[in-house]
Structure formats: structure tokens, C-alpha cells
Structure 1
Amino acid sequence: MSEIGKPLPSAEYEELLALRRENAELKRERVGAEPGPPARPGATSHVLRWVASAILLVLTCVLTMAAVAAAYLRSEVLDTDRYVATVAPLSSDPVIQAEIADQVTEQITSRVDIEGLTRQALAAVTEATPRVAPYVTGLAPVIAEQATTLIHDTTARLVATEQFDDLWIQANRRAHQRLAALLTRENDGAVTIDQAGTVTLSVAPIIERVKSVLLEKGVGFARNIPAVNAEIVLFQAPALVRAQRAVSALNTAAEVLPWAALACAAGAVAAAPRSRRRRAVIYAGLAFSVAMALLAIGLAIGRGYLLNSIPPDAISPGAAQVLIDTLLVPLRTTVRMVFVLGLVIALAAFLSGPSGAARAVRRGFTNGADFVNGRISSGPAKRWQHWLARHRRILEAAVVAVAALILIFWSYPTAAVVVTLAASVVVIVIVIEVLSRQAVVEREAVVAGEGG
């Protein structure tokens, strides 16, 4: 009897608290359930709730895939600044530089008869020596070939300079503005996409620059290079013709689909049995991750199909691969971010649950936080720490909600933005847990209850 009223050792406190939490979880799981045959209606309701939740989870998965794809397409197809930022690094890619050099050389040599001009020049020079003329004019093909090599080398050196970066951005900006105008039908019919869905890039500024460099080197025939709005084919996609008719729906879908996916996820959690809603949150997080895994598989298949559909005579396979992979970088980044976000949601819901592993993790974290805080502020918990311990879950949920809203309303969140937000949430949650001194507050509550 003398032992009554004395505080229990720390280890026994922890065991008692764990048993109380487990007992509370078991009671919550039994809410609404009755033993024997009368429980059949409740069991039926339980199954129907899971069926409704499963359907909403499938819709969450489908809508998440559609939302990510629609947001990417709208940003890259309709936002010129976003598109230019995506393709800007291509100006320093050796494969693209070689492709541009080949295409520009072909555009120039197809419009200027270098061999004919050379033959005429040599014939004029040898008018006074008719016997020598045939031998000299026979050199025209050789000189023309050397001139073609000179044009190619000049272009190759140009595309390797910083000046080409500006030309590349200007050309792509102009091409994308034309494409966006075509897809939104804002071009007043001045430009059209042919039935093959060919997308071209104007190289007129590059040709003008090559012409200037050749003239500076004293290459006389460069004066004959005409000022034309020459174009090279970037890629050929018949789907662009159909995309022109669907772009308006895409623009609307990109705004609606993310909210629809979140609404379905919330509905799946609400539809689940009350005692299993934490598990439904885990499934919702996994639904986001599964959606991104399926989208990644679809991207791999679609990329291969698109590369095989591009005619090799329009653009070299190597350049097409580099171009497609660069355009897909923002989408792949978003897929990875949403995939990880889904896993984080599922893991957080699991660790907050009643399983032995989750309790062990929480107990270890709580004890560790109290140990760290005890080094700074030992002794009994203060009044504000009691308040913080009672409301810490609400505060932590508010922190996560604010971070989620920031991520949703951020126009184009990068990987750095997501990592920074995630790290900030983790740090704030740790600070709340450390300051609340949860282990001390729970022990004091047990002592107070036994003393009463």
C-alpha cells in the first residue's frame, strides 16, 4: 500500500501509454459494429463504403495522370516563355549543332548554284586563252565542293558560339508563337499546319548571319544567297492537326483536372469506413504514385512511337531523340515529384497509425525529441508546452496544408521548389514535436490521473 501514489518508472509509463493508445484504437475500430447476426447491415455498409472508396481511388489515379499530362501540354504548347526555357539548352548540344549546320548548308547550296557560278567565273577569266579554258573550267566541281565545305565549316563554327544561343532562342520563340497561334486559331489564316502535321523552324536569321560571315571572308558568290524565309523541319506529327481542335478543351482541363483529382482523393477517404480512413489516406497516396508510374510507362511507349514516326529524311534520328528527350524533361520531372509526394503521403499516414512499427517509430521520435529538448529546457513541461502537445497534430496538418497550397498555386514548381518545401515542412514538424515535449506531457498526465 505504501507504493500507491508513487510515480512509475519511465519504462512502465511508456508501456502503460502504449496500452492505452492501443485500447483506444481498438475501441474506435469497433464503433458501429455489433456481435452476432444483427451486425450484417453494418457489414454490408462497410463493404459498400470500401467499394465507393475504391472507385474514387481509381478515378483519382486516372484524373492525376490526365492532370499532369494536361498541365504539361498547356505549359509547353501554349506558353512560349516556358517552351523557350525548355529548348534553350539545345543550342549547346553537339548533336543539334551538327544538325543545324547540315540543314543550313543544305538550304544555302540548294538556292545558290555554286558550281554554275564558279564555271562562269572561270570561263570569263580564261576567255583570252581558249585552249586552257576547258581544263580550268573543269575545276568548277572541285571548287564548288570546297565552297560547300567552307559554308558548312563556317556554319558549324557559328553554331558553336554564344551568338548562336540568341539566334536559336529567337528562332524557337518565333516558331512557337506561330504554333501557338495555329493551335488557338489566332493567326487569321495567315499560317496553316499541313495534313502531315509538319512543324518547322525558321533559319532565316542564321542564313543571314552565315552570309555576312562569308562576305567578310571575301567569298563573292555569297552575294547571290537570297534573303528567303527558309525553314527546317523540327518534327512531323499528324496528331497536331487533331490537337488544333482539342486545344481549347486542354486549356480548360489543365485548370480543372488537378482539383478534380484532389476532390476524388478526399472523397475516397470520406467514403471509407470511419475506422479505416487512415488506411484510405495510405491508398490515396499510393494512387498518386501508381498514376505516375503508369504515366511514366506511357511516356516510354509514346516516345518510342513518336521517334519511329519521324521520317529520317526530315531530321536525323540522333537530333530527333535529343529534341524529344529535352521537350519531355519538364514532364518527367513532374512525374517524379508527384510520385514521391504520393509515397510521402502514404508513409505519413502509415506512421500515424496504430501498427506496432508505427508506434515504435513515434515512440522513438518522441523520446528523442524529449531528450534533445531536455538538454535545453529540463524539468516539468510548461503550460504552453501542454497546449502545444494537445494541438500539435492540428498545427502540423496546417503546415502540410499550407505547403500543399503553395505547391498547387505555384505556376511551374521545379524539383528545387518541391525539395525546399518538403524540407521546410519536415523542419517545422520536428520543431513542433521537440518544443511540445510530448513524452514529458504524457507522463505528467498519467501521474495527475493516478494522483486524482
Structure 2
Amino acid sequence: MVKKLSIHRRGPSFGWAKLAVITLAVLGLVFFSGFMIVHWTQRQLLTTDNWVELVAPLPKNEQVSSAVAVYSVDKLFETINVEQKVGEVLPPQAAFLAPPLSERIRTRTTNLAQDLIQSDQFQSIWITANRTAHQKLMNAARDEAPKEEGSQRTGFQLKLENLLTAVKEKLGSSSAGLFANTGERDPAVSVDVDLKTKFETFKKFVSVTDFLNGTLLLASAACLVGALALSNHRRRLFMAIMAAIAIVSLLQLIGIKALRPAVLNQIENVAYQPATGVVYDELLATFQRGATTVFAVSTLLFVLFFVLGRPIVSKNKSVRKWLKVLRATRFWQAVCSARNLISRNRWPIFGVTSFLVMVFMAFIPDFDWQGLVRALLVILIILGLVNLLSPQRSAAYPR
């Protein structure tokens, strides 16, 4: 009796190479997502020139100027009982007019303050104050501040000097009695964020942000290039990476819109909420543009590689004819020769480039451990590119 041989089909193996590819791809995507946030933070919030460029046009905005005007008038009248002052100059029979007249004075003062805030003269003061405050804060956080400033309070102090004096002048001589006996100096209008108690935490935040801004993109490139170099299905992996990046970008764009109401609800004074919304939109506009660009590019590359891998394209007579002509060109032959040269000499090429990087590390001034990390990542990227540019051993085109 002949025994039937049972054939056991082996399932797809899951070896260390596949595990390494998946791990590197996931890490690369995480690093890239983190880089988008960190780069925006460093570029928009921690760079003085970009901060000034962001806030420069804000006084011209109707909602922002209105909020600053209300804040300034509140500062001006915080030590004055306007209704009592008005009541003192009114006859007893007209005492009932004190509340509406007081409200009218406050409204007129607010309108005058808003006109001043929207003027070109105030914009110049606004830009100078923001540049000075931001530069001082960043210098202190990065240990670049002069020694004489070390004992001063550390914080973001936006001083808008002479604004209240200008408002008084606009009110005219009729307001002299209103502000009598309030002291020789006007109260300062300033946005003052004291970071003295938490400055060490803020300083570490700036240091970590600067480091990650220069490292995460290199780490992401090293991981993604390494994953593609180790994979036997590079086109599929590349498409998966592009799809993941597109989804992450969409989630970031959705998060910007979803977070806006929550931020506005944190503002207790309802009068300041419209201005806060304007600042929020302007602040995240650059991040939104960056995420939109990343989404568009990743989606385009995904569609391109998807279409090129379809049989309708690969078996198209016109496409095959065009590819045949392309392979006959000197350029294509030079590319193939270069890839074969890299494949035969991959380790010498990697060794020479790594040696040059180390020479650069040895002689560059002010080289620190952060630079060492970046240099090592560059070496890993070179290793991945050398293997990625080398022809794969499999004769079949990886799908």
C-alpha cells in the first residue's frame, strides 16, 4: 500500500530582517512626526526674527487692537474711581448722570487707545518691545546673556512705554482733573510673564528643543533609509511610509482645528477671546502650511508609485517602448554602472566617507556631544544609502 505523502506548505517566515524593517520604519515615522512639531516650535517660538515677523502685524488687526486697548484702559483706570471723579464735578441734582458719563469716558478712552495702537508709530514701538523682550529671554535661556543681566528677573517682559501718556494727551486738557492726584508716573502697560521660579525648566526645554530640531530629521532619515535598504519589497514599503506620513499630517491638521475651541475656553475674559483666536491662527499658520505641504508631497508620491506598479502601466506598449529607449541611453548605462560600482565597493565607499566625517569632527571648532550624535546619524545614513543604491540580489523586481 502506497502511503500518500503529505506536503506541508510553509507559511511566510518572519525573521530578524522583517522585524528590523518594521522597527526602523515605525521609528522613522515617529521621529519625523516629532520633528515637524519640534521644528515649528524652534523656528516659530524660539527664534527672535520669526517671532517678531509673526507679531508685527497684530496691532493692525481690529480684534487684537481692541483687546490691547481694553487692557491698556483697564491699567489706566485701575487706581481711579471714574464714577466718583465725575460725581464730584456734577451738581447733586445731576448725580444720576455719573454712571453713563463714566461709561462714555471709558468708551472714548478705549477708542482713542485703539486708534493709537493701530497707528504706524505704535507698531514701531510694538516691534521694538517684542524684539527686546524675546531676545533677552532667549539669550538667558541659551546662556548668551551679559553677566550684568544675570541678577535681573528672568521672564518675557513686553514693555509698551508712553502708551498711556499718549492716551492722556489725546483726551485733552479736560481730563486733567480726572487723573489728578494719581502720581507723577503713569502705570506701565506691559505683558509680563515671570519665569523666575520655572526658568530652569524653561531653559531645559529650549536646550532639548534645539537638540531635537537638529537631530530628529537625521534620525528619521537614518531609520527610513535603513528600512528601505533592508527590505525586499522596497516599493511597497515606500508606499506604506508615504501613506503613514499623509495620515499623520491629516491628524495634525485636524488637531489644530479641534484644539482651537479648547484654547479659547481657557481665556476667562470673554473680551480677549477674539484676539486670542487671531493670535492662535497666526501662530499655527506656519505649522498648518508645513503639514499641508507634507500631506500633498506624500500623497503625490504614494499615487505615483502606486500607478507605476500597476500592470496597466508596466505592460503598456508605449511605456515599455519608452523604457527600452531609456535603457539604451548613456545616462541610464552610467547609472547602472555607478550602482554596480557601489555594489562591488560598498564597504570601501562607506569607510572613506565615514573617515571624512570623522576628520571633520576632529577639526571643527566647538564640537560637542550633540554634534557627535548628528555625525553618527550621518554615517548611518551614508551606510543605508550605499546599500540602497546597490542592486538587489533578487532578479525579480520587488513589488
Q: If the TM-score is normalised by the length of the shorter chain, which range does it land in? A: 0.5 to 0.7
Question: Does the C-alpha gap of structure 1 residues 150 and 329 become closer, same or farther in structure 2, counting only changes over 3 Å?
Answer: same
Deviation for aligned residue 1:312? 1.4
Q: TM-score, normalised by structure 2?
A: 0.66
Question: Could you tell me which residue of structure 1 aligns to residue 125 of structure 2?
Answer: 167
Deviations 1:276-296 (A, max 9, x none): 122222223223323323333
Letter in 2 for 1:291: V
Does residue 158 (structure 1) correspond to residue 116 (structure 2)? The answer is: yes
**Residue in structure 1 matching 2:280, options 324, 342, 351:** 324
Question: Does the C-alpha gap of structure 1 residues 334 and 228 become closer, same or farther in structure 2, counting only changes over 3 Å?
Answer: same
Question: Could you tell me which residue of structure 2 aligns to residue 386 of structure 1?
Answer: 329
Distance 1:134 1:304 in 2: 49
Letter in 2 for 1:254: N
- Asked if the contact 1:118/1:144 (under 8 Å) is kept, the reply is yes
Question: Could you tell me which residue of structure 2 aligns to residue 346 of structure 1?
Answer: 302
Distance 1:362 1:80 in 2: 57
Question: Does the C-alpha gap of structure 1 residues 300 and 118 become closer, same or farther in structure 2, counting only changes over 3 Å?
Answer: closer
**Residue in structure 2 matching 1:356, options 311, 326, 337:** 311
Deviation for aligned residue 1:62? 0.8
Deviation for aligned residue 1:170? 3.0
Deviations 1:40-84 (A, max 9, x none): 79x53x654333222212112111111011111111222111012
Deviations 1:115-151 (A, max 9, x none): 555556x48xxxxxxxxx5447776555444332221
Question: Could you tell me which residue of structure 1 aligns to residue 22 of structure 2?
Answer: 54
- Asked if the contact 1:58/1:287 (under 8 Å) is kept, the reply is no
Question: Could you tell me which residue of structure 2 aligns to residue 448 of structure 1?
Answer: none
Letter in 2 for 1:258: L
Question: Could you tell me which residue of structure 2 aligns to residue 107 of structure 1?
Answer: 75
Question: Does the C-alpha gap of structure 1 residues 145 and 285 become closer, same or farther in structure 2, counting only changes over 3 Å?
Answer: closer
Question: Does the C-alpha gap of structure 1 residues 233 and 302 become closer, same or farther in structure 2, counting only changes over 3 Å?
Answer: farther
Question: Does the C-alpha gap of structure 1 residues 303 and 140 become closer, same or farther in structure 2, counting only changes over 3 Å?
Answer: closer
Does residue 95 (structure 1) correspond to residue 63 (structure 2)? The answer is: yes
Deviation for aligned residue 1:272? 0.8
Letter in 2 for 1:54: I
Distance 1:146 1:307 in 2: 29
Question: Could you tell me which residue of structure 1 aligns to residue 240 of structure 2?
Answer: 283
Question: What SS class does the counterpart of residue 204 from structure 1 fall into?
Answer: coil
Deviation for aligned residue 1:329? 0.8
- Asked if the contact 2:63/2:278 (under 8 Å) is kept, the reply is yes
Distance 2:253 2:96 in 1: 59
Letter in 1 for 2:311: G
Letter in 2 for 1:271: L
Deviations 1:183-205 (A, max 9, x none): 54656252345xxxxx7743434
Question: Could you tell me which residue of structure 2 aligns to residue 272 of structure 1?
Answer: 231
Question: Could you tell me which residue of structure 2 aligns to residue 294 of structure 1?
Answer: 251
**Residue in structure 2 matching 1:190, options 152, 171, 177:** 152
Deviations 1:86-142 (A, max 9, x none): 22332232211221221111111114454555556x48xxxxxxxxx5447776555
Choose between structure 1 and 2: higher helix proportion: 1
- Asked if the contact 1:67/1:258 (under 8 Å) is kept, the reply is yes
- The unaligned stretches of length 5 or more in structure 2 are 1-6, 339-399
Greater mean alpha carbon deviation, residues 87-96 or residues 170-179:
170-179
Distance 1:296 1:394 in 2: 44
Question: Does the C-alpha gap of structure 1 residues 114 and 221 become closer, same or farther in structure 2, counting only changes over 3 Å?
Answer: farther
Distance 1:47 1:160 in 2: 66
Question: What SS class does the counterpart of residue 277 from structure 2 fall into?
Answer: helix
Letter in 1 for 2:64: I
Question: Does the C-alpha gap of structure 1 residues 299 and 393 become closer, same or farther in structure 2, counting only changes over 3 Å?
Answer: farther
Distance 1:119 1:295 in 2: 56
Deviation for aligned residue 1:155? 1.3
Deviation for aligned residue 1:338? 1.7
Question: Does the C-alpha gap of structure 1 residues 321 and 264 become closer, same or farther in structure 2, counting only changes over 3 Å?
Answer: same
Question: Could you tell me which residue of structure 1 aligns to residue 170 of structure 2?
Answer: 213
- Asked if the contact 1:351/1:359 (under 8 Å) is kept, the reply is no
Distance 1:188 1:68 in 2: 33
Distance 1:392 1:259 in 2: 26
Distance 1:40 1:282 in 2: 27
- The unaligned stretches of length 5 or more in structure 1 are 1-36, 124-132, 194-198, 371-380, 396-452
Query: Identity over the aligned pairs, expressed in percent?
Result: 21
Letter in 2 for 1:230: V
- Asked if the contact 2:76/2:187 (under 8 Å) is kept, the reply is no
Question: Could you tell me which residue of structure 1 aligns to residue 52 of structure 2?
Answer: 84
Deviation for aligned residue 1:263? 1.1
For the aligned residue pairs, the C-alpha RMSD in angstroms reads: 4.3
Deviation for aligned residue 1:337? 1.4
Distance 2:268 2:284 in 1: 20
**Alignment map for 1:305-316 (pairs within 5 Å):** 305-308=262-265, 310-313=266-269, 316=272
- Asked if the contact 1:65/1:295 (under 8 Å) is kept, the reply is no
Distance 2:171 2:336 in 1: 71
Question: What SS class does the counterpart of residue 190 from structure 1 fall into?
Answer: coil
**Residue in structure 1 matching 2:106, options 148, 161, 168:** 148
Deviations 1:385-438 (A, max 9, x none): 93245458999xxxxxxxxxxxxxxxxxxxxxxxxxxxxxxxxxxxxxxxxxxx
Question: Does the C-alpha gap of structure 1 residues 52 and 303 become closer, same or farther in structure 2, counting only changes over 3 Å?
Answer: farther
Question: Does the C-alpha gap of structure 1 residues 73 and 362 become closer, same or farther in structure 2, counting only changes over 3 Å?
Answer: farther
Distance 1:299 1:243 in 2: 24
